[in-house]
């Protein structure tokens, strides 16, 4: 347990130090890279909001644990945008998104997850598979080393979440 806390704290310390380096370099980012950052911020919010809703509805521990991770991912994405001095808007209300595709996806996932525990876990699998695919794409779209590092860390975490959901799924 203590090792996990130390690793998590080391991870966030590393991200903080990388953000200072990135801020001091003040790289000019391409429009596509900025759009990707904003999209990934809302995608992390989607995961957090879906897991919050499903966790509150069913009380499954896995959603509470992974929701906390998604809150950290959301904060990391906000920090990435802030570090690069990119303005952004995000709805404070759970389940509300500026991006219409993500709004539709949220609504679909909530509906899909309302049928059975197996369906709920499949929603988690779907979210993490989507996140992994999108992160792999945005990593290829940027040349900025700091941004690549942030995305790579989020990718590793999403793969861990996917493994956790697949372990749960194997029980049903």
pTM, entire model: 0.81
Helical packing angle, 100-112 and 31-58, nearest 10°: 20
In whole angstroms, what is the distance from residue 153 CA to residue 147 CA? 10
The domains of the chain are located at 2-169
pLDDT number for residue 51: 93
Burial bucket for residue 103 (CB in 10 Å: 0-12, 13-18, 19+): middle
CATH 1.10.1040.50, domain 2-169, yes or no? no
Q: Distance between CA 102 and CA 82 in Å, rounded?
A: 22
- pLDDT of the residue at 103: 98
Q: Write out the chain's pLDDT in tens, 172 residues.
A: 555 555 556 676 666 655 555 554 445 679 999 999 999 999 999 999 999 998 887 777 888 888 889 999 999 999 999 999 999 999 999 999 999 999 999 999 999 988 888 999 999 999 999 999 999 999 999 999 999 999 999 999 999 999 999 999 888 7
Give 26's DSSP letter. Answer: T
Return the structure tokens found at 97: 């998104």
Distance CA 166, CA 139 (A): 25
Residue reference for tokens 């040349």 = 143
State the Cα–Cα distance between residues 76 and 74, nearest whole angstrom: 5
């Amino acid at each position: 347990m203590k090792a996990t806390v130390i690793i998590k704290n080391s991870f966030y310390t590393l991200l903080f130090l990388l953000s200072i380096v990135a801020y001091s370099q003040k790289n000019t980012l391409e429009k596509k890279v900025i759009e990707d950052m904003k999209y990934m911020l809302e995608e992390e919010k989607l995961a957090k909001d879906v897991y919050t809703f499903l966790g509150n509805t069913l009380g499954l521990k896995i959603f509470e644990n992974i929701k906390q991770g998604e809150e950290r991912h959301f904060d990391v994405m906000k920090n990435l945008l802030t570090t690069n001095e990119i303005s952004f808007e995000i709805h404070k209300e759970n389940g509300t998104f500026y991006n219409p595709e993500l709004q539709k996806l949220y609504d679909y996932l909530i509906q899909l997850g309302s049928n059975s525990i197996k369906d709920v876990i499949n929603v988690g699998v779907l979210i993490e598979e989507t996140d992994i695919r999108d992160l792999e794409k945005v990593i290829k779209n940027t040349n900025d080393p700091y941004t690549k590092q942030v995305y790579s860390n989020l990718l590793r975490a999403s793969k861990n979440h996917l493994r956790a959901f697949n372990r749960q799924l194997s029980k049903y």
